[in-house]
Amino acid sequence: MTVQPPASTAPVAARTSTIRTHHGDAFDDPYEWLRAKEDDEVLAHLRAENAHTEGATAHLEGLRTRIFDEIKGRTLETDLSVPSRRGDWWYYGRTVEGQQYGIQCRAPLASPDDWTPPQLEPGVDVPGEQVLLDANVEAEGHEFFSLGSFDVSKDGTRMLFGVDVAGDERYTVRVRDLVSGQPLPDEIPGTFSGAEFTPDGSGILYTTVDDAWRPDTLWLHAVGTDVASDVTLFHEPDEKYWLGAGITRSDKYLVISVGSSITSEARILDTADLTAEPKLVWPRTERVEYSVDHAVVDGEDVLLIVHNDEALDFELVRVSAEDPQGERRVLLPHTPGQRLLDVDCFRDFAVVEYRRGGLARVGLLDYGSGEVDELPFDEPLYTAGTGGNPEWAPPLIRLGYDSFVTPGTVYDYELSTRELLLRKRQPVLGGYDPGDYDQARVWATASDGTRLPISLVWKRSFGDAGRSPRPLHMYGYGSYEHSIEPRFSIARLSELDRGVVFAVAHVRGGGEMGRQWYEDGKLLQKRNTFTDFVDCARHLIDSGYTSPDRLVAEGGSAGGLLMGAVANIAPELFAGILAAVPFVDALTTILDPSLPLTVIEWDEWGDPLHEKTVYEYMKSYSPYENVRTDVAYPRILAVTSLNDTRVLYVEPAKWVARLREVGADALLKCEMVAGHGGVSGRYNSWKERAFELAWLLDVLGLADD
């Protein structure tokens, strides 16, 4: 049964009439005044909400401490990542017990033929090690710290890093001379994430955003010059498109990518002359998406392009880099149900990543034969992908792998022997045994007959999931074609070890089952996302996995919209709902093109500003506008951040105020110095997760366990 917290007086937000009129519909929004972020009354209200939440959850302080200690006790706090080779150095990261942030380091290769990463031991000095960036030092004096850019020039003599100390994802880039160890005078404020050096290290490529927080301009900064003289390489004026850029692994081209969520366009620049006119790859065509990488095949510079032009689940083609709009040679034809995700080119082969049967797959593409050798993995549920492969002609490929029960694992795949070489598995202290846990996939049926995958993980000692109703924590997202992968989590062990079953409902709008899965959960089919989640919950209840008084749902950002929608659709199915940075005032946001990202988002949600049908459809599901007076809501915890630029704090603040009007037990927790990802620093993030899990366990009646 649900344990109710001690009674406390909740803040009551003042009601002030604000009329919003569109398409002949007038909506009186009583809490829109909470949008005035700098207003003293708004800040006072948010602090009162925090005080109320702290008071209402004070009885969980001991449990929060225990969960935090469990997370900390299972984590090897002083640890190192697996080194990745680049140029003449092995690059890796360190963490040190008691320190919030990571430390970026490097050590010299033993020889030019050295491709076996050194076996590093925590606390043991590495011969020739250089500390490049200690984020703990850089974060001193700041409540929030985030590293948005980090790069070392190819010759290893310079380093750049971009820092955000507010949480608004606007980074100041600084440069350091790695020979002398001294900072250079270069300082570039207001950048987006992902700045990088040019191949010769003399310049820095970076992007900036417009007033709507849309990356729209690519710049070239010459190291050692005033930022006022930086050169604009490309500007995208269309407010529906964002801009990104990156240098190919071959160092031959700079690829400038422009895109919305449904349309792409790319240009290439030879890095030998970055101030030349960029060459258009394919002109933008509505609803055609593509990505580009460079390869050399039979001595010719070619572009490998993943695209969906008359290929719903995408195909891979090859074109001449000299004439990219010329003949297309199909390398991997469109295969319905197998969603081709990406191609990663190396000198002698390419790595392709794709989804089939709801799981991510990795294969090696032979340039000559066109054959793909898929890498085998044994578990029924897993996550695999490439990472840490900066070299152009390596004899092995770095892979990341994990599952719900297998901790994060780093492999090198040796090309000559086709062998997976285990480099490291994330240590879990305290005697963790993956055999103590089990994972499975079950299928629910949506109201329209669609089969919906649900992934489950549980601890075996409590019995098999589904044998009898158990406390169950159900997660969902379902937007932007983003797939929720079966990943390992140390923090999750604190609930599994208390008998909770963890489930992921892979609802439409995500990307788990291919592009059509995404198309069927967006725009005027968005309701499928919400009803799928409800149908998954009903399946788990009807099949004996759980019961409504033992079921808590969680989602964040667009998944927070999902949480708000299902709270309105089927509140009777859930004991609690945890909504992180929730997009619960969706219509108000998407109606305002001056807000960050709004115009870009019209391809995902529709354009309610200009289309009455979209306006009416969004108004029918936007959680804030559809809070009901005829139902009893489950307990709700909404977590947000004052400086979030993606989903503004005002959305959950308004939602909680409206829920309180109808008697809901709704709590708001607002971080006053943080962004979309919440607090910074690993210990702070552990405390934040311990707070959320303690609330969740309290709802499930497990607070005393």
Cβ(215)–Cβ(207) below 8 Å: yes
**What is the structure's pLDDT at 506?**
98
Nearest Cα neighbor of 661 from 31, 240, 181 is 31
pLDDT given at position 151: 98
Task: For 257-304, give the DSSP string.
Answer: EEE-SS-EEEEEEETT-TTSPPEESS---TT--EEEEEEEETTEEEEE
Buried b (16+ CB within 10 A) or exposed e, 557-569: bbbbbbbbbbbbb
Identify whether 344 is a catalytic site residue.
Answer: no
List the domains of the chain with CATH numbers.
Answer: 40-73+449-585+622-699 (3.40.50.1820), 80-141 (no CATH)
C-alpha 612: how far from chain center: 32
Contact call for residues 308 and 335 (beta carbons, < 8 A) = no
Q: Give the dihedral of Cα atoms 677, 679, 684, 690; nearest 10 deg.
A: -60
Residues 387, 382: Cα–Cα separation, whole Å: 16
Walk along the chain (705 residues) in steps of 10 and give the mean pLDDT of each run.
51 95 97 95 96 97 97 94 95 93 95 91 84 95 93 97 90 97 96 97 97 93 97 96 97 97 96 96 97 96 98 98 97 96 97 95 94 93 92 96 97 95 96 97 97 98 94 98 97 98 98 96 98 98 98 97 98 98 96 86 95 98 98 97 85 97 97 66 91 98 84
Look at residue 690 and give its three-state secondary structure.
Answer: helix
Catalytic residue among 644, 665, 680, 698: 644
Question: For residue 292, which phi and psi values (nearest 5 degrees)?
Answer: -130, 140
pTM tops 0.85:
yes
> 3-state DSSP helix/strand/coil percent for the chain, to nearest 5?
20, 35, 45
Sign of the dihedral defined by the CA atoms of residues 297, 299, 300, 302, in that order = positive
Which of 71, 703, 83, 29 lies closest to 389 in space, CA to CA? 83
Q: pLDDT value at position 4?
A: 44
Q: How far is CA 286 from CA 217, 257, 259, 353, in A?
A: 22, 15, 10, 25
Length, in residues, of the chain: 705
In the numeric block, which tokens belong to residue 152? 């070392």
**What residues form DSSP beta bridges with 245?**
256
Q: Measuring CA to CA, which residue among 415, 349, 394, 387 is closest to residue 112?
A: 394
Q: Is 120 helix (H, G, I), strand (E, B) or coil?
A: coil
pLDDT of residue 7: 45
Query: What stretch of H or E contains 654?
Result: helix 650-661
With tokens 């930022």, the residue in question is 227
Rounded to whole angstroms, how far apart are CA atoms 696 and 258? 41
Q: Which helix (H) or strand (E) holds 590?
A: helix 586-590
Q: Which of 654, 652, 665 is nearest to 695 (CA)?
A: 665
Q: Report whether 487 contacts 402 (CB < 8 A).
A: yes
Q: How far is CA 380 from CA 26, 412, 435, 586, in A?
A: 52, 21, 14, 37
Q: What is the pLDDT of residue 599?
A: 87
* CB neighbour burial string for 123-137, b if at least 16 within 10 angstroms, e if fewer: eeebeebeebbbbbe
Which residues make beta-bridge pairs with 292? 305
Neighbours of 461 (CB within 10 A): 9
pLDDT value at residue 3: 39
Q: From CA 649, how far away is CA 580, in angstroms rounded? A: 11
What torsion, rounded to 10 degrees, do the Cα atoms 576, 581, 586, 589 define? 160
Q: Is the separation of the CB atoms in 46 and 37 below 8 Å? A: no
Q: What is the DSSP string of 447-499?
A: TTS-EEEEEEEEEGGG--TTSS---EEEE----TT--------TTTHHHHTTT
Amino acid identity of residue 394, one-letter, is P
In this structure, the dihedral spanned by the alpha carbons of residues 703, 462, 440 and 428, taken in order and rounded to 10 degrees, is 70
Q: Is 403 helix (H, G, I), strand (E, B) or coil?
A: coil
Catalytic status, residue 644: yes
- SS3 label, residue 550: helix
Query: Position 609: which residue type?
Result: L
Bridge-partner residues for 338, per DSSP? Answer: 356
Instruction: Name the burial class of residue 181, with classes exposed (0-12), middle (13-18) and buried (19+) by CB atoms within 10 angstroms of its CB.
Output: exposed
Q: Which residue in 79, 665, 676, 680 is the catalytic one?
A: 676
- The reported pLDDT for the residue numbered 426 is 95
From 557, 622, 641, 680, the catalytic residue: 557
